[in-house]
Amino acid sequence: MEENIELCLVSDKEIHNNILQALLKYINPEYYIDSIQAMDDWTYSNLVDIDDINLVDDYIALNRIVTITCSDYFMNRVGVSVEKKKDKYHYDGWFKLSDECSEEKYARILEELEAAVREMNPDICAIGREMYVDLDLPVNEIKSDASGVDIWISKN
């Protein structure tokens, strides 16, 4: 059974590379980029494939939602989506492990992800499994409406 471990965060900085690097350490180092895509909205309107990772920032600047997905040869997958809303960036990061994750391993992953995210100093971040987090709500309502969250991190 696959495990899907996620993080959702809001930041005033563009940190998609930091998030991607934090998640990539959980799959084989010989990963490859599956896809880089940009779209206008979450209904995939005007979906385009981006051929050059160096163009990601340009698409974000155009207020497009950008998703980067990577895989390894063991069917483990990592991805991050970024959407700029006004002066904030909304991020969804995830990785799927092809095998089941023990509670010990999951606790270690949570600890490592929490440390990495704290260095990014997000406005708010949720980390968990199969989460629901609505980042469009006011910050004081996000926690009460969420599910599947094991760790919350708020700005220092």
Q: What is the pLDDT of residues 84-131, one digit of tens each?
A: 998 999 999 998 887 778 889 889 999 999 999 999 999 999 999 989
Read off the DSSP letter of residue 87. T
pTM for the whole structure:
0.90
CA angle 81-85-91, nearest 5°? 25
pLDDT score of 42: 93
- pLDDT band at residue 156 under the 50/70/90 scheme: low
pLDDT at residue 140 tops 80: no
Q: What is the predicted pLDDT for the residue at 89?
A: 94
Longest C-alpha distance within the chain, in Å? 42
